[in-house]
Every structure is written in C-alpha cells, then in structure tokens.
Structure 1
Amino acid sequence: MTSKEILQIRNVRYFLMFRSSYFARFYYPVFTLLYLDYGLTLSQFAMLNVVWAATIVLAEVPSGAFADTLGRKRLVVLSSIVMFIEIAMIAFVPTGNPTFVFVVFLINRVLSGLAMALASGADEALAYDTLKQQGKEALWPRVLQIQLRIASSVSIVVTLVGAAMYDVNFMASAYQFLGLAEPETTQDIMRIPVYATLFVAMVAIYAAFSMREEKKVIPSSESKLASIMASMKLTLNTAKWVLSTPYVLFILLYYSLFEHTSRMFLTMNSQYYRAIDIPIIYFGFIGAGISLLQIILAGQSRRLAESMAPKTFIAVMGLATMATYYWISLGWSIYGVIPALILIFIIMTMNIFISYHLNKNTESHNRATVLSFKGLMFNLGYGLIGMLYAYYYKLLSQNYTEEQIEQHIDFIASLSSFFYYFTFLFLAISVFFYFKDKKQAIF
C-alpha cells in the first residue's frame, strides 16, 4: 500500500495533521531562553516542567480510560481547545510583575499538561483502530514513519522561522523593511513565536473536529456515572495487567527512561547551544538539520525497530545513549551539536520500537488506557528528573561566581548528571530484567 493510499484513510490523515500541528511550536528552538526572557530563573523553569509532568501524571490514565469509555474524539477535541487557551495565556501575559508572570506560567503548565494528557493515547487509538477495522493494522509502523516525516518537514519550517523570529538582528532587518521601529533586545520580540504558535493551534483544533468515531450513547446522568465508574474500573484493571505482564512492563520502563531523560535535556537545548557558543540565528538551522535527518533516517529507524531482537536493540540503544550523554557533558564548543543529533536519532528509533511492540501486544478495548500508562510512566520519570536537576543545579551554581554563571560554566558542569542518572537507572532496570527473564523468557 502506498503512502498516498494510507493518507486516504480519514482518521489516519487527520491523526497526522493533528500530531504535526499540535507540536508545531515556533518557540521550541528557544524554549528555555523564552522562559528566561519572561523573567523566570533556570531553577523555576525546571520546576515548572515538574508541574507540567505532575499534571499529566494525575490526568493521564483517567483520561485514557475516559477515552475508551466516553469517546476518544471528545478528548482529542477538548485537548486542542485547552492547548489554544494555554498558549494564549503566555502570548498576552504582562511582564511587569515577576510573581504574576510565574503564577501565569504555573497555570499555563497545568493546562499544557492537561491538554497533553487528554490527547495522549486517544488520537493514536483512533487512528490504529481505524486500520484494525479494515484489517490493515500491519501498516501502523508505516503510519509512524509517515508521521515522522511530515512532523519533521513541518519542524524544518517551524524551527527556522521560530529561531529567526527570536534573533534581534534578523528581526531588526524585517522591522526596518516594514517601516517599523527596530527591536533592541529579545524582550521586544519574544512574543512573536508565541503568536505564530497560537495561529497553528487552530489547525490542530480543525484536525481534532475532523476525526470520526462511532458515537457512544449516554442517555442519562445515571449512565454517565456508570461510564465514569467503568472508566475507573478499566484503569485499575489495566494497571494490574501492565504490572503482571513483564513484556509490557519492561517495554514501558525502558521507554520512560530513554524518553524522560532525553526530553529533559532537549527541553534545555537552546540553553545548551548558547553555552557552547552557537548564535541564536543558527538554532533554527540546527533544528531544520535535525528534522531533515529525521526524514532521511525515518526508514532506517523503522527497519531497526522491526528487525532487531528486542534484547539486542535495547542493549545497543542503551550503550549508545550512555556514550552520547558523556560526550554532551564535555561541553565542546560547536562540535557539541553532534551528540545532540545522535541523541535525537536514538530517541526517534526507540519511539518507533516502543509503539510497534506496545500496540502489537495490546487489545483494542483498552488500547487508549495502556497508551496512557505509557505517558504516565514517562511523566513520572520526567517529574523526578526535573526535581532532581532543579535541586542539583541550584546547589551547583552556588559554587560559581556571577561572571562564570554568565559564561554558562555552571550549566555545562551540570550536564554530567545526565550521564550518571541514565547509566544508573539503565543498569538497575536491566538487572531487574535479567532476573525476571531467567525465571521466564520475557522477549
């Protein structure tokens, strides 16, 4: 089946549109810098991301269960609307009062986490079950490959434009061409990428409303209560099933470790690039290069995920990730971009591997709930590493002078924590896996 024929399937088409527009954030190339320019500190930035993760932890699995019982499309639509609201908050917040700004960003992180939890699992389950109903579920890795290529293509534009929007020199030229007063600092232009993201959020809303699902009839308040109770029961039953199914449990444990560690680092990649002396205007070119590599290597990632034995795959990816974090911790100027690119390829390949094996071993009736557990375990890890990093960085930075902090020496010194954190947990999970596997083969 060709890619064009796959795109003819309605829910698959709008799933791809929803995913690519939902994550098309023009401020992502300068994510950390944006927060700092709004007046927040690096420790506050880390803690706000902990709040984001904690919100998802609380809402993730119940939302997945509600998707399985009340309707998946409803949650995807609600997610897109909440996302629009949370972006609008930071687009228009006044910056005169630092305390007020922090409170607004705190609410923003809660809403962002809620939006992420509502969509997580529901959109993927809609698309996958549409394929399954047509007897085409074997095409799912192809859909993921197409999604990766579309998202990467969109990301090329978003990262190039987003970084340019945040570069004072570039925007000064643009303002001059339009006959406007030239900006002097990034504070003068920092909202422009947010405004652009707000516009793209409307595309996600359109895609969410365009999905189709057989309506779940809820005739009375009594049946609504029964549906909610059924959702909670499904959540508990799925939790028991995950914990009692070693294949799924270890897939989720490894996924969470790889994903939350890399996400924490990549969330701060703009600060990392600045620390290794890369000008802001080049952030977009780096992001575009990453997206281009993802497009080129998407097929290779899929083939690795499908063809390698699970044990071998996880071992190879684990060792490669350790080496990559060690390289990152060296803080090499300019050349430090290379391990960041390698890390992205590793995570891209790992995500295809996880989605392929998890969907393959999950029944349709609780697919969204299981996929929500996937998000839950990631966000538990993300919240943990966020708290640990915020505390560690705060202690570490006290040993450096203001001049050294301005030169980002303290930030570079903090990066070794990623190597030690990942290595320790990877070995711990692997030892646990080894003893479980000896009793009964897992993979």
Structure 2
Amino acid sequence: MTLREILKIDNIRYFLMFRSSYFARFYYPVFTLLYLDYGLTLSQFAMLNVIWAATIVVAEVPSGAFADTLGRKKLVILSSIVMFVEIGMIAVVPTDDPNLIFFVFLINRILSGLAMALASGADEALAYDTLKERGEEELWPRVLQIQLRVTSSVGIFVTLVGAAMYDVNFMAGIFHTLGLSAPESTKDLMRIPVYATLFVAMIAIYSAMSMKEKKKALPDNQTTLATTIESLKLTTNTAKWVLATPYVLFILLYYSLFEHTSRMFLTMNSQYYLAINIPILYFGFIGAGISLLKIILAGQSRRLAESMAPKTFIAVMGIATIATYYWISLGWSIYGVIPALLLIFIIMTMNIFISYHLNKKTKSHNRATVLSFKGLLFNLGYGSIGILYAYYYKLVSQNYTTQEIEQNIDFLASLSSFFYYFTLLFISISALFYFKNRKAVVWDDT
C-alpha cells in the first residue's frame, strides 16, 4: 500500500495529526529555562516533574480501561481539552506571587500528567484497530515509521522556532518591525512559546474530534456506574494477564528500562550540551538535527525491529545502550553530542519493536489497557530514577567547589550513574528472562 493510500484512512490520518500536534511544544527547547524565568527554583522544577510522573502512574491504567469500555475517542478528546487547559493556565498566570506561581504550575503538572494518561494507549489502539478491522494490521510498523517522520518534521520546525522565540537578539528585530519595545531579557519573551503551543493544542482538539469509532452502546439495564466497575475489573484482569504472559511482561519491562532511563537523560540534554561546551545558540539546531536524524533513519529502525529475532534484538540494543551511556559519562567536549544522537536512534528503534510485538500479541478488547500498562511502567521508572538521580547528584555535588559547580564539573561526574543504573537493571531483567525462558520459551526465534 502506498503512502497516499495509507493517509486516506481517516483514523490513521487523524492519528498522525494528533500525535504531531499534541507533542509540538514550542517551549521544549528551553523547558528548564522557562520554568526558572517564571520564578521557580531548580528543586521545585525537579519536584514538579516527579509529581507529573506520579499523576500518570495513578491515572494511566484506569484511563486505558475506560478507553476499552467507554470508548477510545472520548478519552483522546478529553486528553486534548485538558492539554489546552493546562497550557492556558501558565499562559495567563501572574508572575508577582511566587506561591501562586508554584501552585499554578503544580496544577499544570497534574493536568499535564492526566492528559498524557488519558491519551496514552487510546489513540494508538484506535488507529491500530482501524487497520485490524480492514485486515491490514501488518501495516502498523509502516504507520509508526510515517509517524516518526511526520512528528520529526514538525519537531524540526517547532524546535527552531521555539528556540528563536527565546532569543532576545532575534526577537528584538521582530519587536522592532512590529513597532514594539525591544525585550530586555528572556523573561519578556517567556509567554510567546506558550501562546504558540496553545494554538497548536487547538489542532490536537480538532484531530481528536475528527477520529471515528463505532459507538459503544451500554448493554440493557447497565448504568454508567456498572460500566465504571467493569472498567476497573478489566484493569485487574489485564494486570493478571500481563503477569501471567511472559511474552508481554518482558516486553514491558525492557521497554520501561530503555525508555525511562533515556528520557531522564534527554530531559537534561540542554545542561549536558552546555557542560560539554556546546554554545547555547546551537541547542535549537541540535534539536532540529535530531528530528532530521529520525526522518532519515526511521526506515532503518523499522527494518531492524521487524527483521531481527526478539532475543537478538534486545541483546544488541542493550549492549549498544550500555556502551552509549559509558561514552556519555566520559563527558567529551563537543564530540559528546555523538552518543546523545546514538541514544536517540536506539530508543526510536526500541519503540517500534515494542509497539509492533506488543500490539501483535494483545487482543483488541483490552489493547488500550495493555498499552496503558506500558505507560504505567515507564512512569514508575521515570519517577524512581528522577528521585534517585536527584539524591545522587546532591551527594556528588557536595564534593565540588562553587566554581566547579558553575563549570558543570559535578554534573558531568554524576552522568556515570546512568551507565551503572542501566547496566545493573538490564543484567537483572535479562537474568530473570534467562531462567524464565529455560522453563518455557518466552520468545522464539521468529
């Protein structure tokens, strides 16, 4: 099937539109700086991210169960609306009261986590089931490849524009052209990327509302409360099924390890680039380069994920990731950007592999719930590594002077923790897999 024919499938087209607009955040290139300019501290920033992950952990699986019983489209629409509200809050919050700012950002993080949980699994299940109904589910890896290219193309634009929106010199020229007073600092610009993201959020709402799903009629004499109880039962039953199905359980365990470890590092990538002497001016270009890399290598990622036997694939990706984190821990000036790019490719390939095999093994009636368990395990890992890294960094930084801390020497020293953390957990999960596989084959060589 050609690309044009794939895009003619309504739910696939709107799925791609939803994913590319939902994650098109113009403030991502300056994420940490934005929070600081609003008046938050670094410790508050870390705390808010843990709260964000905790919210997703609490809401993730029940939302998936509601998607399977009440309808996936309803949850995708609700997710996009909540996203619009949480961004709108920080777009209008006054900045003269630090307590109010923290409270608003606290609500923002909770709503953001809730929005992520509502959409997680529901949009993917809706798109995948559309292919399954047509007998074309084998096209799913291609859809994921297309999604990577579309979202990466949008990402290039968003990253470059978002970074430019936060550049005082660049925006001074724009302000002058419009007859406005030139900005004096980034604090004069901090709402602009938020407003831009708010506009894109409306596109996400439109694409969510445009998706199609067969209406889920409540059975006779069954109330909404009864359906809610059924949703919770589905959550419990799916949890039992995941634990009793080693094929799925180990896919989810490996996914969580690869994803939450890399996400923690990539959340701090701007500080990493600064520590290895990359000029701030080039941060946006690096982000755009990463998106371009995803576009170019998306096909190769798909071929690797489809062609390699699962055990071989996990072993290769695991060893490559261990080597990458070790390279990152060396803190090489300038050239340290190479392992960061390599990590992007590894995680991109892993995500295609995980989605392909997980959807292949999961039945339609609980697909969104199982995919929500995927998000649950990721966010449990992300919250845990966030707390562990914050504590470890605090211990490490105590051994350095103020001048060394300003030079990010303590930060570079803390990066070895990623190597040890990932290696220990990868070996532990693989050892558990080995003994389980000896009793009964978990993954065959096909």
- Deviation of 1:68 after TM superposition, in Å, equals 0.4
> Which stretch of the first structure deviates more once superposed, 417-426 or 218-227?
218-227
1:104: which partner in 2?
104
Q: What's the CA shift string for 1:66-97, capped at 9, x where partnerless?
A: 00001110000000000011111122222233
- Alignment of 1:299 onto 2:294: no
Residue 409 of structure 1 and its aligned partner are, at CA, apart by: 2.1
Partner of 2:390: 390
The match for 1:364 is 364
Structure 1 moving runs of 4+ over 4 Å? 219-222
Please give the alpha-carbon distance, in whole angstroms, between the structure 1 residues aligned to 2:208 and 2:381: 28
In the aligned structure 2, how far is the partner of 1:187 from the partner of 1:413? 31
Q: Distance in 2 between matches of 1:229 and 1:286?
A: 48
Q: Do the aligned residues in 2 keep the contact of 1:327 with 1:339 (CA within 8 Å)? A: yes
Greater CA drift, 55-64 or 401-410 = 401-410
Deviations 1:333-366 (A, max 9, x none): 2222111111000000000000000000000010
Asked if 1:142 is matched to 2:179, the reply is no
Secondary structure at the aligned position of 1:81 is classed as: helix
Task: Please show how residues 16-415 of structure 1 align to structure 2 within 5 Å.
Answer: 16-218=16-218, 223-415=223-415
Measured in 2, the distance between the counterparts of 1:348 and 1:304 equals 11
Deviation at 1:408, TM superposition (A): 2.0
Write the distance in 2 (CA, Å) between the matches of 1:414 and 1:45.
Answer: 18
Please state whether the residue corresponding to 1:419 is helix, strand or coil: helix
Structure 2 counterpart SS, 1:438: helix
Q: Distance in 1 between matches of 2:23 and 2:221?
A: 36
Amino acid at match of 2:130: T
Structure 1 177/407 Cα, relative in aligned 2: closer, same or farther at 3 Å?
farther
Deviation at 1:253, TM superposition (A): 0.1
Looking at structure 2, the residues matched to 359 and 174 of structure 1 have their Cα atoms a distance apart, in angstroms, of 48
Aligned residue pairs, count: 443
CA contact (8 A) 1:43 1:393 kept: no
Question: Where do 5+ consecutive residues of structure 1 fail to align?
Answer: none
CA–CA distance in 1 between the matches of 2:258 and 2:24? Answer: 22
Deviations 1:156-181 (A, max 9, x none): 10001111111222222322333322
Instruction: Give 1:221 shift.
Output: 9.2
Contact 1:277 1:334 (8 Å CA) reproduced: yes
Q: Distance in 2 between matches of 1:94 and 1:213?
A: 41
Look up the equivalent residue of 2:318 and give its one-letter code: G
Deviation at 1:219, TM superposition (A): 8.0
In 1, Cα distance between equivalents of 2:206 and 2:79:
12
Deviates more, 1:38-47 or 1:225-234: 38-47
CA distance in 1 between partners of 2:401 and 2:34 (Å): 24
Which deviates the most, 160-169 or 206-215? Answer: 160-169
Partner of 1:417: 417
In 2, the alpha carbon distance for the partners of 1:46 and 1:411 equals 15
Task: After TM superposition, give the deviation of residue 220 of structure 1 in Å.
Answer: 8.9
Q: Which moved more, 1:249-258 or 1:264-273?
A: 264-273
CA contact (8 A) 1:40 1:98 kept: yes
**Separation in 1 of the partners of 2:221 and 2:34?**
45
Q: Which residue type is aligned with residue 77 of structure 1?
A: I
SS in 2 for 1:25: coil
Retained in 2: the 8 A contact 1:273–1:337? yes
Residues 327 and 96 of structure 1: CA distance in aligned 2, closer, same or farther (over 3 Å): farther
Letter aligned with residue 397 of structure 1:
S
Q: TM-score with structure 1 length normalisation?
A: 0.97
Between 297-306 and 44-53, the greater mean CA deviation after superposition: 44-53
Give the 3 Å change call, closer, same or farther, for CA 278–95 of structure 1 in structure 2. farther
| Cα shift at 1:326 | 1.4
| Alpha-carbon shift at residue 332 of structure 1 (Å) | 2.1
Q: State how far apart, in whole Å, the 2-side matches of 1:118 and 1:165 are.
A: 30
CA shift, 1:39, in A, is 2.7
CA contact (8 A) 1:31 1:268 kept: no
Distance 1:361 1:219, change over 3 A: closer
Partner Cα separation in structure 2 for residue 62 and residue 239 of structure 1: 11
Instruction: Tell me how far 1:222 sits from its aligned partner.
Output: 5.1
Aligned-residue offset at 1:402:
2.9
Is 58-67 or 211-220 further displaced after alignment?
211-220
- Could you tell me which amino acid in structure 1 is paired with residue 296 of structure 2? I
Partners of 2:172 and 2:401 in 1: how far apart? 33
For 1:271 and 1:358, locate their aligned partners in 2 and report how far apart those are by CA, in whole Å.
Answer: 34
Q: Deviations over 1:10-43 (max 9, x none)?
A: 1111001000000001111121222222233333
Counterpart AA for 1:391: Y
Report the 3-state secondary structure (helix = DSSP H, G, I; strand = E; otherwise coil) of the residue aligned with 1:254. helix
After TM superposition, the score normalised by the length of structure 2 is 0.96
How many angstroms does 1:192 deviate by? Answer: 1.3
8 Å Cα contact 1:256/1:381 also seen in 2: yes
Distance 1:221 1:103 in 2: 43
Q: Structure 1: how far apart are the matches of 2:281 and 2:178?
A: 20
Residue by residue, what CA displacement relative to the aligned partner does 1:50-74 show, whole Å, maximum 9, x if unpaired? 1111111110010000000011100
